[in-house]
Amino acid sequence: MVIHYKTTKGTDIFGLAIPNIYADTDWDLGPTWCYLILGKKTTLIDTGNWGNFEVFESLLKSIGKGFSNIDRIIITHSHEDHDGNVAEIISVTQAELWAHIIYPQMISYHPHVKDGALHPELPGSCRLCPMPETFYRNCLQYHQKRSLLKVGFIIKDDQRLPDEDIGFVFTPGHSPDSICIVLEDEVIFTGDTVLPDITSHPSPAYTFEVNRRILPEGYRRRNDVYGLMNYIRSLNKVACLNSQPFEAMFPAHRLFYNGRFNLLDSSERAKEIMQFHIDRCRDILRIIDNNPIGVADIAVQHFPPSLLAGFGRVLAEDEIRAHIEIMEACGDICCTDESKELVKRTGTSNYLKAIEVYLNCASC
């Protein structure tokens, strides 16, 4: 599918739906929406999941464009369904690559830095990949090609380029290099930060200790880029942007899903997602009750069976851990074994104050 939007200043934006197909699962992410902006420079936001070069070329052709028309590519974050075709596209366009300052570290290899990494042989974005080898080995060629890229323009935190009428909002938590993009104070491209219908998979907070030494110098002192709490801070930042409400929010997934368009207010949707995570913490505490219980058992009781099929179980358990990290830091949960897989309640619900401070701020 291709969609077309024209801003009040006359800038044409085309949304291109690039397929995501994951085998042996019942869960469906929907396509990755990539966006072509026909401004002073023709800009492509994200490049979709790897293996879709011909699909991308066909969609461009359907609107009378080709790869040769692209001047620059902006990557919202370093996940394979967002920068999967970037190496191939740059090889034929010579377009300039734009990405956050953390992105080069995520696509590079750091085998000499172990620090508890499950996969020190993989690039920075995948050193704690929870997926089995049968899944991630398919990405190896994509990783190798991506690692050779040079970022032509480094995006800094919350940078604005008035001459381009474009701004960037640093929104880590799902990924340490995540950004949203604001065009002409009218349109926001939210990447995976704010999605309709679903919420992004939060990175584990403990990834900071594993990746601290590979991060750029300014991000090594404290964890401001990994974990659910940082994702919630990013949601609050989007909810409080001065330009709200935007005329259009363009997410990376589920813009069109189940036969309908999801046209949302980014501020209101960001608040809904924050409330969703509060409710999930509450349900985890309900499941734990007064008995120590394992993360895997919590996931089975919290998620419907359809989301636990195939690799979904791995992601579900990771989601539960991200919430447990917040509640453990707030003193509401303690781990009863060294592996931190068995948890029990302490009797408090301090997480509510810790998260609601952002939800309340977003409403002012």
pLDDT band with cut points at 50, 70 and 90 for residue 359: confident
Residues 282 and 248 in one domain: no
Those residues with Cβ within 8 angstroms of residue 197's Cβ, 6 or more apart along the chain or in another chain: 254, 257, 262
Cis peptide preceding 104, ω within 30 of 0: no
Among candidate residues 264, 294, 312, the one where a domain is terminated? 264
In a domain, 255, yes or no: yes
> Is residue 212 a part of any domain in this protein?
yes
Report pLDDT digits (tens) over 250-259: 999 999 998 9
- Rounded to a whole number of angstroms, the CA Rg of the chain reads 20
Residues 46 and 95 both lie in one domain: yes
Whether residue 269 lies inside any domain: the answer is: no
> Can you read off the two tokens belonging to residue 32?
């990755």
Residues 351 and 296 in one domain: yes
Pairing of strands 248-251, 187-191: parallel
Establish if 122 belongs to a structural domain.
yes
The pTM of this model reads 0.94
Evaluate if residue 102 carries a pLDDT over 80.
yes
* Same domain (yes/no): 162, 52: yes
Residues 212 and 260 in one domain: yes
Q: Which two tokens stand for residue 3?
A: 């969609």
| 129 half-sphere exposure, CB direction, 13 A CA radius | 22
Which 3 state secondary structure label does DSSP give 223? coil
Same domain membership, residue 185 and residue 162: yes
CA distances from 71 to 28, 90, 318 (A): 32, 10, 38
CATH number, domain containing residue 285? 1.10.10
Burial of 307 (0-12, 13-18, 19+ CB in 10 A): middle
Whether residues 230 and 282 fall in one domain = no
For 308, how many CA atoms within 13 A lie in the half-sphere containing its CB?
A: 12
CA distance 180 to 189: 6
pLDDT value at residue 363: 55
* Same-domain check for residues 284 and 191: no
95 in a structural domain: yes
**Residue 266 backbone phi and psi in degrees, to 5:** -60, -35
Residue 339 sits in which domain range? 275-362
pLDDT at 229 > cutoff 80? yes
Burial category of 301 from C-beta neighbours within 10 Å (exposed 0-12, middle 13-18, buried 19 and up): middle
Regarding whether 32 and 151 lie in a shared domain, the answer is: yes
Whether 234 and 149 share a structural domain: yes
35, part of any domain: yes
Instruction: Round to whole Å and give the CA distance between 41 and 224.
Output: 32
Residue 306 within a domain? yes
- Tell me if 270 is assigned to some domain: no
Q: pLDDT per residue over 53-94, tens digit each?
A: 999 999 999 999 999 999 999 999 999 999 999 999 999 998
Between the CA atoms of 73, 76, 77 and 80, what dihedral angle is there, to the nearest 10 degrees?
-60
Evaluate whether 317 touches 325 at the Cβ level (below 8 Å).
no
Q: How many domains does the chain have?
A: 2
Q: Specify the amino acid at residue 283.
A: D
Tens-place pLDDT, residues 282-336: 999 999 998 899 999 999 999 999 888 878 888 899 999 999 999 999 999 998 8
Rounded Cα distance between 223 and 236, Å, is 17
pLDDT digits (tens, 9 = 90+) for 105-116: 999 999 999 999
**What is the CATH number for 121?**
3.60.15.10
- Rounded Cα distance between 190 and 14, Å, is 15
Same-domain check for residues 7 and 33: yes
Are residues 200 and 323 both part of a single domain?
Answer: no
Among 244, 264, 284, give the residue marking a domain's end.
264
Final residue in a domain of this structure, among 264, 284, 299? 264
